[in-house]
Amino acid sequence: MDKASKVADLAQRRGFYWPSWEIYGGVAGFYDLGPLGKELKNKIIELWKETLMKPLQRIIVELETPIITPYKVLEASGHVENFTDPITECKKCGRKYRADHLIEEKLGIKVEGLSPEDLTKIIRENNIRCPVCGGELSDVKPFLLLFQTQIGPYEGDKGFIRPETAQGAFVNFKRVYQYFREKLPFGIAQIGRVGRNEISPRQGLLRLREFTIAEIEFFFDPENPGKPPLDYDAKIRLLPWELAKQGQKEPVEVTIREALEKGWIINEWMAYWMLKAKELLNKLGIKDEDQYFEEKSPEERAHYSSQTYDQLVRTERYGWMEVSGHAYRGDYDLSRHIKYSGKDLYAFRKYKEPKIVKVKVVKFNPKEIGIRYKSKAKEIMEKLRKMDPEEVERQLQEKGYVEVDGEKIEKGLVWVEEREEKVTGERFVPHVVEPSFGVERLLYVTLEHALREKEGRLVLSLPRRLAPIQAVVLPLLEEEPLIKKAQEVWELLAKRFRVEYDERGSIGRRYARWDEVGVPAAITIDFQTLEDNTVTVRDRDTWKQVRVKIEDLPRVLEEFLEGKELEEIAGSQA
Amino acid sequence: MDKASKVADLAQRRGFYWPSWEIYGGVAGFYDLGPLGKELKNKIIELWKETLMKPLQRIIVELETPIITPYKVLEASGHVENFTDPITECKKCGRKYRADHLIEEKLGIKVEGLSPEDLTKIIRENNIRCPVCGGELSDVKPFLLLFQTQIGPYEGDKGFIRPETAQGAFVNFKRVYQYFREKLPFGIAQIGRVGRNEISPRQGLLRLREFTIAEIEFFFDPENPGKPPLDYDAKIRLLPWELAKQGQKEPVEVTIREALEKGWIINEWMAYWMLKAKELLNKLGIKDEDQYFEEKSPEERAHYSSQTYDQLVRTERYGWMEVSGHAYRGDYDLSRHIKYSGKDLYAFRKYKEPKIVKVKVVKFNPKEIGIRYKSKAKEIMEKLRKMDPEEVERQLQEKGYVEVDGEKIEKGLVWVEEREEKVTGERFVPHVVEPSFGVERLLYVTLEHALREKEGRLVLSLPRRLAPIQAVVLPLLEEEPLIKKAQEVWELLAKRFRVEYDERGSIGRRYARWDEVGVPAAITIDFQTLEDNTVTVRDRDTWKQVRVKIEDLPRVLEEFLEGKELEEIAGSQA
């Protein structure tokens, strides 16, 4: 069994995760999280918040926006047009395939980003046929990866399940800008479910049709982005596209300063979030040498991005696996929503000193207009006031009048004046960088990197603070006085910790049972306990034990979970 | 402005919640949670877990299952057939209405639970017409409240957005039963988004098309349900259907014991969860007199339930509003999934003593069958072994042979024997009670009940531990030494708390600004601070202040948030 199989087997056997709707034969691309998997995920999300939100708590807020999203929002975002995969159908058996994957499997070449026409050509030239029945394949077409639905009882009201949480942040830019009393930069975090209707998902927990994203849309003024609290000397492993396109396969390790100076990372906030992402992965138990950032080529990038790095983690079966994406989305999304909604999603940039500028304004003679146009006068004047002065000037010059509601307002009744105005600043569309994490992928790599074998047994060496169950209380034997004492100890600890209790089977088997699901501390109640109220505490990873007074247990457990070693804590008791 | 308007106004102005996709004109039934609303919701969920999961942590686990659900799962659950609202369409203008609501508004009568035919009759007899254009209304039809979608590229693969999280728990019964090493009772908690495609939702945050449910499916053996840790003397306010159908309008206050004895609550676990629900609402700041439980009439109950209580909370504009439902689902769901999936979702009940029972078994003569049927013999014997002995006996009696795969196996080659067997137990379908909370409704009633006016200003008197922002640090004036000191104090507190900082405006206006969003403690840095390192801490609700040393602030704030009064804490400092 390779590691992926071991993880999957453990996950199903012990309650981390399993395929959804098993009793109905399952559906590809959906997984359930079981009791331990859900708890682990909760802790990963907690750690994510602690690492990505808390250090900037004054400028990062969390929102929650709906999963069901109206058509026009995802039309504006470009998803309706661009969020597709190429699909081809067997003309004989009707099976459908992702065309690029099929070609990659058959020919061993990379074709990501090619057009449907190019893919069709490759299929024809290489005579690629249905891998199941050998039938002829159809022309390649784009397949929309959005799950579609209808909102309410009217058939025209189309909606989708969102493919990312980001759009919920963009459409709310103005609200949050006001929440922050119109100051930039700030970030909107969202953690929530998204759906991507993959054509034929495989790879278990790593390619799902529904999963949880944790992402931040970070808005800033491109002319004055603000300084992230960035450690310029910190090292980061990168494979920039500039090197990759020259054939380089391995990442280079550079300082943040260097990466910025060379232009490999185009923005300081990008660098900040990438460094945080590395830190998060470290906390999940992924070593530096098991992760790096790879820049996507222009063809591979999403439609909205001008630079994207993927954070990759080493996996045994699947190779380097993307767990987060870091995209410079620029002003793409806000500009699109301004265009599609007609609403003001601008920020305001104050000049250091007010500028005196000449502005043109439309003026008119209200009395004369009143006399001449009577009941229509009011509306005409309102429309004149709203007209572009340049346009008014042009019409007056060309035609000698301005046309409003079919009326010709003559020169003299309306004119354009220039006047000086003090302008304190200007509107602009903020830029955005986005760190975006696939939470189930984080869960998977955390499990794979934690799973070890020791003396032929599985031990899940999760970072202690991530452990779904923090301790287990074990009476040495299934005998009354020991059981009673063990129950008391359980009660004591259960107030503050998530603690299991287990009396079934030999003590060795019980240790093994709880090592396997990553319980950091096993607390054994033995006959000495009945005499002196001490218990043994056993470390999941070293299998070493120390004796501790029951009354000290909560403190010992807390310090142990925070990262101290048992010997150290027990030694400090004296 | 009534209270609902004040809450809505505050919510939009200060960032609790607002209608989704405002810039595109919004869509009824969808709301976004802003920075403060999301944080408050997170805290309500935390409290929910603490109240409903933690006390039974050894038997309650949390799962996460997908929102997108295949057709057959919701067909089995009965939703495809039953989860509908009656709809009628104007034949002239095409507008669609919820028929029962329309009738209730026009005639002031309750028609919940009536069939489409009955509703059509009422519309015809009372000549109810389109309220907008006066057109004739169509016959009433059921409208499916499930959001529909398609999973994957094949058109037949229909799916839905789940209307409740419960089915994800039922289909996983066996997995979790094994996780608990085949012991009952246990509960599966889920907190997640659901969708209900309401015909025309109104009432803001109280009737959404997408919202968060927090629910527990609690499985037990109906013959041996186990004892919940239930306070039988605890009081609960109830309006049982038995009283309501006699015309009683007001709830009665009874002890849990009485409610159980009178049969008003049909199950102890139901009573346990109802009491927990009351406790949760108390923690959210809802007083006893502002909540009670109302039993649904048989007509109003969902299709799966044999008893349901709604937990109602008093609201100013909307009257008594349902915030949780407590349904006795019996064996309905598991039985349906057994039937539709053909899979074993039984639990096993051990007899106290093994029973000796007579069982019939099918026997046959393998040698003779081998000789007679040669290559088909093996399959015939396998099929005989699996046949129901009663059926074999019947065929032998009626026809003198047993028919297998078109072959007639004669009496003598096959027969039925009776033998004694020791049976250690029996299979059964567990029963389920379900407490189910609408989280956004909890959020709304929490806000409405917290909002007060004091000296003409709004104060959001949230229970302190629920406050999205726990403290705000205020330099008395916008002057350098005060600002510097205030920043230091902020840094000190931000390590452990969610703290705001504010230097803009008069101190009185700043107090008002943060009172309004429920910040329990305002910490002011004044000139005395510069001399003796003390600050004032002001209580949001009493507006009283105490002076505290900066070094004591973290402890003072922690105790204050836990519920102690400032005078008490400051007094204990000496």
Range B409-422 average pLDDT: 91
Kindly indicate whether the ipTM for this predicted assembly is greater than 0.95, answering yes or no: no
Q: In angstroms, what CA-CA distances link A286 with A205, A283, A451, A501?
A: 18, 7, 12, 30
Burial of residue B357 (number of CB atoms within 10 Å: 0-12, 13-18, 19+): exposed
Which own/partner contact pairs does B359-362 have at CB distance under 8 Å and 24+ positions apart?
A: B359/B418, B359/B419, B359/B420, B359/B421, B360/B389, B360/B390, B360/B393, B360/B416, B360/B417, B360/B418, B361/B389, B361/B416, B361/B417, B361/B418, B361/B419, B362/B387, B362/B389, B362/B392, B362/B414, B362/B415, B362/B416
Distance from CA of B383 to the nearest CA of A (A): 24
Residues of A in contact with B87 (CB under 8 A): 153
B443 CA: distance to closest CA in chain A (Å): 13
The DSSP letter of residue A52 is I
End-to-end CA distance of chain B: 47
Query: For residues B183 and A504, what is the distance between their CA atoms, to the nearest angstrom?
Result: 13
Mean per-residue pLDDT of chain B? 95
Contact check, Cβ <8 Å, B61/A38: yes
What's the number of CA atoms in the CB half-sphere (13 Å) around residue A489?
34
Check CB contact under 8 Å for B63 and A32.
yes
Q: Tell me whether residues B193 and A193 touch, CB distance under 8 A.
A: yes
Bridge partners for B95 per DSSP: none
Q: Name, in order, each residue with C-beta under 8 angstroms of B16's C-beta and a sequence gap of 6 or more.
A: B10, B33, B34, B36, B37, B40, B447, B517
A34 closest CB neighbour out of B31, B63, B159: B63
- In A, minimum Cα distance to B25 occurs at A341
Question: For the residues of A449-508, what is the DSSP string, one character each?
Answer: HHEEEETTEEEE---GGG-SS-EEEEESSS-HHHHHHHHHHHHHHHTTS-EEE--SS-HH
- Measure in Å the smallest separation between the Cα of B38 and chain A Cα atoms: 6
Query: Cβ separation of A38 and B62 shorter than 8 Å?
Result: yes
SS3 of A391, please? helix
Which of B10, B16, B24, B57 best tests the A interface by mutation, with the highest count of A CBs <10 A? B24
Select from B21, B170, B509 the residue whose CB has the most chain A CBs within 10 Å, as the one to mutate to test that interface: B21
For residue A431, the SS3 value is: strand
Report pLDDT for B562.
95
Task: Write the CB contacts of A493 (distance below 8 Å, at least 6 apart in sequence).
Answer: A471, A473, A499, A523, A553, A554, A557
Q: Do A337 and B23 touch (CB under 8 A)?
A: yes
3-state secondary structure A552-574: HHHHHHHHHHHCCCHHHHHHCCC
CA atoms within 13 A on the CB side of B94: 4
Report the distance separating Cα A203 and Cα A205, nearest Å.
6
Has residue B572 got a pLDDT over 60?
Answer: no
Q: Which of A366-380, B489-503, B532-546 has the lowest mean pLDDT?
A: A366-380
**pTM confidence score:** 0.91
Contacting residues of A for B66, CB less than 8 Å apart = 20, 30-32, 210
For A95, name the nearest residue in chain B, comparing CA atoms only: B154
Q: Work out the angle at residue B437's Cα, subtended by the Cα atoms of residues B195 and B325, and round it to the nearest 5 degrees.
A: 100
What is the model's pLDDT at position A572? Answer: 55
- Interchain CB distance below 8 Å, B21 and A70: yes
pLDDT tens track for B59-113: 999 999 999 999 999 999 999 999 999 999 999 999 999 999 999 999 999 888 8
Q: Which residue of A has its CA nearest to B212?
A: A66
**Contact yes or no for A61 and B87 at CB 8 A:** no
Instruction: Assess whether pLDDT exceeds 90 at residue B170.
Output: yes
User: Residue B147 is encoded by which pair of tokens?
Assistant: 């959001």
The residue of chain B nearest to residue A15, with distances taken between CA atoms, is: B179
Q: What are phi and psi of A31, to 5 degrees?
A: -130, 145
Strand duo B499-501 + B471-475: pairing: parallel
Query: C-alpha dihedral over B191, B195, B196, B197, to 10 degrees?
Result: 170
**CB-side neighbour CA atoms (13 Å) of A13:** 11
Please judge whether B337 and A174 are an interchain contact, meaning their C-beta atoms are less than 8 angstroms apart: no
**B445-470 pLDDT tens trace:** 999 999 999 999 999 999 999 999 99
Nearest to A175 among B18, B28, B153 (CB): B18
For residue B148, give the nearest of A143, A149, A209 by CB distance: A149
Nearest CA in chain A to B71: A24
Residues of A with CB below 8 A from B199's CB?
Answer: 152-153
- The Cα A295–Cα A241 span in angstroms is 5
Task: Please judge whether B153 and A64 are an interchain contact, meaning their C-beta atoms are less than 8 angstroms apart.
Answer: no
Closest Cβ opposite residue B66 in set A30, A34, A498: A30
CA dihedral B168, B169, B174, B176 (to 10 degrees): 120
Nearest CB to A27; choose among B15, B70, B147 = B70
Residue B574 has pLDDT above 50, yes or no: no
pLDDT below 70 — which residues of chain A? 571-574
pLDDT score, position B462 = 98
Would you call B15 and A176 a contact, using CB atoms and an 8 Å cutoff? yes
Q: State whether B67 and A21 contact (CB < 8 Å).
A: no
Closest by CA to A465, choosing from A513, A506, A521, A511, is: A521
Nearest CA distance, A95 vs chain B (angstrom): 9
Tell me which DSSP letter residue A50 carries.
I
Q: What is the dihedral of CA A475, A480, A481, A484, to 10 degrees?
A: 70
Q: Do the Cβ atoms of A486 and A534 come closer than 8 Å?
A: no
Among the partner residues B14, B24, B147, nearest to A73 by beta-carbon distance: B24
Nearest to B98 by CA among B106, B83, B112, B88: B88
**pLDDT for the residue numbered B570:** 79
Crossing angle of helices A116-125 and A99-107, in 10° steps, is 40
Other CB atoms within 10 A of residue A514 CB = 21
Which pLDDT does position B486 carry in this prediction?
A: 97
Contact A284, A51 (CB under 8 A): no
Rounded to whole angstroms, what are the CA distances from A73 to A80, A128, A190?
A: 9, 38, 17
Using a 10 angstrom Cβ sphere, with 0-12 exposed, 13-18 middle and 19 or more buried, the burial of residue A103 is buried
What's the confidence (pLDDT) of residue A574? Answer: 39
DSSP notation for B281-338 = HHHTT--GGGEEEEEPPTTTS-TT-SEEEEEEEEETTTEEEEEEEEEEEETHHHHHHH
Query: At A292, which amino acid appears?
Result: Y
Which residue from B165, B153, B97, B160 is spatially nearest to B128, judged by alpha carbons?
A: B97
The one-letter code for the residue type at A170 is: F
